Amino acid sequence: MTIEKIIIDKVRILPPDKQQEALDFVEFLLAKMQKQELSAQEIKSGVQL
């Protein structure tokens, strides 16, 4: 079983308000990842915003 499948199965058990919290956390992680990628690109190009 993949991690993705395990996460989906567990989230389905949660009540809607906790599902929303899980979604909020995933969106936070995605935003953090994008920010880190942008910073890495800026370092590579020598550009600081």
The one-digit pLDDT tens for each residue of the chain (49 residues) are: 999 999 999 999 999 999 999 999 999 999 999 999 988 888 888 865 5
Confidence (pLDDT) at 49:
52
Confidence (pLDDT) at 46:
80
Helices within 1-49 (DSSP H only): 3-13, 16-45
Number of domains the chain contains: 1
Confidence (pLDDT) at 45:
84
Range of the domain at 32: 3-45
How far apart are the C-alpha atoms of 37 and 33, rounded to whole Å?
A: 6
- Tell me, yes or no, if the pTM score tops 0.95: no
How far apart are the C-alpha atoms of 30 and 21, rounded to whole Å?
A: 14
Confidence (pLDDT) at 48:
56
